[in-house]
Amino acid sequence: MEPRPGTRKPRHHVQRVKQRAHYEREAIHAILDAGMIAHVGFCVETQPGAIQPVVIPMLYARDGDALLLHGSIASRLLNRLGEGVPACVGVTLTDALVLARSHFNHSVNYRSVVAFGRAVLVDDPAQKAAALERLVEALIPGRAAESRAADRNELAATKLLRFEIEDASAKVRDGGVKDDAADLALPHWAGVVPIETRYAAPQPDASMGDAGLPASVRALLAPGARR
């Protein structure tokens, strides 16, 4: 995840609004751990010389400097991705609307990561089972122990990919409105409106009767908890 030596402008170096850029592993991991959906992009040759980009939204779990991805064993696109073609993954979280006095200075507070790398297929059943467990834990911590691990047939039906991050950058905007000085006299309201993502009242499956909520779900609903 370090800039490659000898390249003046590495592919992951943010070129625009550079003060928003971060390359530290810790900043990148924190955003990846807060996100839920990755948009995975790669290029497919649809006919000789014709290149088509494809972007697929996928759940993921971070494992060190890799992202675990999964899908159906029958997915042709995941087959292609798992061949180790160059891929690019985007994860973005939106934190607030930034409402300026001018159209031009409207913005959004956000945290995003763009990561470059390649995916490899994971075939080993034990590794696949462990990855599925991590994917459940990424969705909701503590849940893997509260549900049945994958059996042999389920593992056989699952394609598991490990996307190794080769380099990545994070981009973050936070803070307040940045209006032009000349606009401050305008009669328009300016300010920040936070966007909050929270969990609402759980809907137990019809078969559940009046069983209590498990610890993992109770933790999602604790005061102050947020996605």
Range 140-159, binding its own copies (CB under 8 A): 140, 143-144, 146-151, 154, 157-158
Cβ 131 vs Cβ 70: under 8 Å:
yes
- Return the structure tokens found at 53: 């980009």
Q: Answer yes or no: are the C-beta atoms of 116 and 166 closer than 8 Å.
A: yes
Nearer to its own copies, 66 or 144 (CB): 144
Task: Please list every residue from 8 through 37 that binds its own copies, using CB under 8 A.
Answer: 11, 15-17, 36-37
Residues 70-89 within binding reach of its own copies (CB under 8 A): 71-72, 74-77, 86-89
Q: Got the DSSP string for 109-138?
A: EEEEEEEEEEEEEE--HHHHHHHHHHHHHH
Total residues contacting its own copies by CB under 8 A comes to 98
Task: Please state, in angstroms and rounded to a whole number, the distance separating the CA atoms of residues 54 and 184.
Answer: 44
φ, ψ of residue 67 in degrees (nearest 5): -115, 130
Residue whose C-alpha is closest to residue 75's, from 63, 67, 83: 83
Q: Which CB atom, from 17 or from 26, has the smaller least distance to its own copies?
A: 17
61 binds its own copies (CB under 8 A): no
In angstroms, how far is CA 87 from the centroid of its own chain? 14
Binding mask 185-224 for its own copies (x = CB under 8 A): -x-xxxxxxxxxxxxxxxxxxxxx--xxxx-xx--x----
Of positions 59, 120, 121, 219, contacts its own copies by CB under 8 A: 59
- The residue from 24, 33, 57, 141 that contacts its own copies (CB under 8 A) is 57
- Please say which residue, 25 or 112, places its beta carbon nearer to its own copies: 112
